[in-house]
């Protein structure tokens, strides 16, 4: 079954209730020396090829994939990781551009002995990372899944439709920079879905030196350097299996906060989908699928859909 046919089955399932091992996220799983006196946390499970590499969105970590990774591990090797400064990884040198992140990721995989081919999976800003990885190291990538990915044209396309989007983004960046100066102001409240040990680990990492500075630098780069980096490197992926998953419910949910009318929120959702259509066309076999009822964090809202997309891409890749 081809990607275009198989992916039709992704939409319409009830959200999966997936148990996960909370203890796995209370400490580093495997700290890999990536040079310069830095170590990065890598969490791998399952067996098989190709290896699936999970890259979280901005501010995310291995924990972002807690519902997806255990399911993917039932049919192949899957690895999530903490970017520099996130989770249990040491901070990295600034600025944290996409090129810097991709260089870290490739070094991490090499030094951990994780051989290609890889299926790269990126959520939100993590979509920048996996796309640039595929642009630079095409022969190492067997396929991609982009989970409600960021797009280098999104500000240009969305700002006219969402009057307060630019100021909201500026506020987010200012908050992260404030957190970098005074981390204790930004310790998140306990998550009632998590146990006391996991909540304690999250609070401890929020107080770690450098964590917020790296996150702020990543976000700042998405507004400037990253768009140019991706534009220079972007190329056709040929027949590489590629599935883009689109949420979009966030535009209606937060439309008042973004200063948008009902009609503007609908237009923003269409523009978001159009950008994802364009990303899907980077591959001759690319498809963009809407995930019913999902917001931006599809890997949390509908992990079953993400897992099925990954499995579909792997099946296509194994036929090559």
Q: Return the domain boundaries, the chain.
A: 3-318
Report pTM: 0.93
* C-alpha gyration radius of the chain: 18
Distance between CA atoms of residues 51 and 78, nearest Å: 6
Q: What is the pLDDT of residue 135?
A: 93
Q: What is the pLDDT of residue 209?
A: 76
Q: Which residue in this structure is represented by tokens 């972002």?
A: 64
Q: What is the pLDDT of residue 235?
A: 75
Q: What is the pLDDT of residue 117?
A: 96
The CATH homologous superfamily to which domain 3-318 belongs is Alpha/Beta hydrolase fold, catalytic domain (3.40.50.1820)
Question: At residue 120, what are phi and psi to the nearest 5 degrees?
Answer: -95, 130
Regions of the chain short of the pLDDT cut 50: 1-16
Q: What is the pLDDT of residue 168?
A: 92
Contact indicator for 223, 287 with CB cutoff of 8 Å: no
- Chain-centre distance for alpha carbon 3: 21
- Rounded to whole angstroms, what are the CA distances from 7 to 30, 114, 134, 191, 215? 34, 28, 22, 33, 33
Q: What is the pLDDT of residue 19?
A: 75
Q: What is the pLDDT of residue 292?
A: 86
CA atoms within 13 A on the CB side of 253: 8
Q: What is the pLDDT of residue 225?
A: 54
């Amino acid at each position: 079954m081809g990607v275009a046919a198989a992916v039709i089955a992704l939409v319409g399932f009830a959200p999966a209730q997936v148990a996960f091992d909370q203890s796995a996220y209370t400490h580093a799983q495997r700290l890999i020396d990536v040079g310069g006196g830095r170590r990065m946390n890598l969490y791998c499970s399952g067996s098989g090829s190709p290896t699936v590499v999970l890259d979280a969105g901005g501010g995310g970590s291995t924990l972002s994939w807690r519902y997806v990774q255990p399911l993917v591990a039932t049919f192949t090797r899957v690895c999530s990781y903490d970017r520099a400064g996130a989770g249990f990884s040491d901070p990295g040198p600034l600025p944290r551009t996409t090129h810097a992140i991709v260089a870290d990721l490739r070094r991490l995989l090499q030094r951990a002995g994780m051989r290609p081919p890889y299926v790269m999976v990126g959520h939100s800003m993590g979509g920048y990372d996996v796309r640039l990885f595929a642009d630079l190291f095409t022969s190492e990538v067997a396929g991609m899944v982009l989970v409600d990915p960021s797009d280098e044209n999104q500000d240009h396309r969305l700002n006219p439709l969402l009057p307060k989007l630019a100021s909201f983004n500026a506020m987010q960046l200012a908050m992260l920079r404030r957190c970098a100066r005074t981390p204790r102001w930004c310790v998140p409240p306990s998550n009632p879905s998590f146990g006391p040990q996991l909540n304690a680990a999250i609070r401890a990492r929020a107080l770690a030196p450098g964590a917020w500075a790296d996150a702020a630098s990543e976000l700042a780069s998405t507004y400037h350097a990253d768009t140019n980096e991706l534009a220079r490197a972007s190329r056709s992926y040929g027949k590489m299996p590629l599935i883009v998953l689109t949420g979009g419910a966030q535009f209606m949910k937060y439309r008042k906060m973004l200063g948008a009318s009902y009609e503007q929120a609908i237009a923003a959702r269409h523009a978001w989908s159009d950008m994802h259509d364009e990303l899907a066309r980077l591959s001759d076999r690319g498809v963009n699928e809407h995930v019913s009822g999902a917001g931006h964090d599809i890997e949390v809202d509908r992990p079953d859909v993400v897992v099925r997309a990954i499995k579909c891409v792997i099946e296509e890749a194994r036929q090559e």
